[in-house]
Amino acid sequence: MFDVEKIRDDFPILSKKIYGNPLVYLDNAATSQKPRQVIDALVDYYENYNANVHRGVHTLSMEATDKFEEAREKVATFINSESSDLVVWTRNASESLNLIAYSWGEANVHEGDEILLTPMEHHSNLVPWQELARRKNAVIKFIPMRENGTLDMDKVDDLITERTVLVSAVHMSNALGTINPVRELGGKAHQQGAKFLVDGAQSVPHMPTNVQELDCDFLVFSGHKMLGPTGIGVLYVKRDILNTMEPFLTGGEMVLEVSYQEASWADLPMKFEAGTPNIADSIGLGSAVDYLNSLGMENVRTHEKNLTTYALNRFKEADLDGMDLFGPDDPEIRGGVFSFNTVDVHPHDLGTFLDRKGIAVRTGHHCAMPLVRSLGVAATVRASFYLYNTEREVDILVDGVTEALRYFRDGSE
């Protein structure tokens, strides 16, 4: 049974008060809070078996290595990778995408080739391809987006051609909440011989993810958005592709043999993990995966779908004059991300007002500047939900926005 009140007890920070008000944390698209189990896993590592991995025969090193690789196995199982060898540790999704752009892109993208993206990409899944296209004289194209914040899939067949080498798409938009039909998009890419990349930074924490079912060539995501520590990310790549990729970074740990003249590379996945890795946070991410598995990702998705439905209805009932809520109105294709703008109150002012009520939201362009500007606004307020949020917190948000608009328009609370 998914007991949200019991779940909340696992998160120490949720008992915090902001300006005397209970914390209502609604900035989960930026980073999630951490349960005590993850915090304890980090403390346990540093207190009981802190040592470098893969390099020592002493007890602490062997224990740290076992826990480190056990975490990789947990992540591989979590996304249904056929092997943990295909899971590469990175710092975050941004680093994973840059690794692909350099290690795969430099060898496989040529002058005149085309890369197809969506208009709702985070800068992390846009700027590396812009830079690669600039270096290679390649072309970037975009799938059109409908007014409701969904992709115009009717145009995709005309956009993917024999010149397309990569289709890269966000699974869930961090600014609109749109859940894109990535399995269908990947199928269309593969029909034309293109590779398919999924940015799962927002989706992997919130719904079941099966890389074999998605048939994606690449998947990237970050640990800190799924209850794990910051500074640890994941890159999954199909074996036949990963075997052909050259290392992004070189140095210690990722080598097999080294002479004064040359070097050869270690086996997967260490070939792509130069230097001492982020041991503690990898183990912490493994603990986060344990926690999510204990809840069940289907249950996590159901809870958030119910919250999204409730929030859509509450905003509709509030009938806030002059407020635009962006993204689809169908909770089946929308995650718990709510971006909105009001005509006469700047998002930063609204965000500051809400903070005084203990409500943590995001304001700005959310590292999706081209998308937000395409909406005709410079910035939005974004509230984003996760597994520990409640309908009561949705009520507090909507009431807080209502009060803020009244205050700024009428000068009274």
Cis peptide before 144 (omega within 30 of 0): no
> How high is the pLDDT of residue 55?
83
The answer, yes or no, to whether residue 1 has pLDDT greater than 80, is no
Query: What pLDDT sits at residue 409?
Result: 84
Tens of pLDDT, residue by residue over 329-362, are 999 999 999 999 998 899 999 999 999 999 999 9
User: Considering only the top CATH level, what class is 38-294?
Assistant: alpha beta
Strand pairing partners for 382?
Answer: 339, 362
Q: What distance in Å separates the CA atoms of residue 61 and residue 278, rounded to the nearest whole number?
A: 14
pLDDT of residue 412: 53
Q: Which two tokens stand for residue 313?
A: 């209805």
Residue type, 388: Y
What pTM, to 2 d.p., does this model score? Answer: 0.96
Catalytic residue (one of 169, 245, 367, 405): 367
Helix (H), strand (E) at residue 42: helix 36-48
Residue 272 reports pLDDT greater than 90 = yes
Q: What is the pLDDT of residue 191?
A: 97
Class of the CATH domain delimited by 4-30+296-408: alpha beta
Q: What is the DSSP string of 100-121?
A: IIIIIIHHH--TT-EEEE-TT-
Distance of CA 7 to the CA centre of its chain: 22
pLDDT at 349: 96
Task: Tell me if 4-30+296-408 shares its fold with 38-294.
Answer: no
Note if 367 is an active site residue. Answer: yes
| Averaged pLDDT, 291-308 | 98
Alpha-carbon span 235 to 216, nearest angstrom: 12
Average pLDDT, the chain: 97
Domain boundaries in the chain? 4-30+296-408, 38-294
The pLDDT > 70 percentage for the chain reads 99
- Greatest Cα-to-Cα distance within the chain, rounded to the nearest angstrom: 75
Q: What mean pLDDT do residues 182-198 have?
A: 98
Average pLDDT over residues 35-47: 98
Which pLDDT belongs to residue 133?
98
Q: What is the pLDDT of residues 206-264, one digit of tens each?
A: 999 999 999 999 999 999 999 999 999 999 999 999 999 999 999 999 999 999 999 99
Q: What is the mean pLDDT of residues 376-397?
A: 97
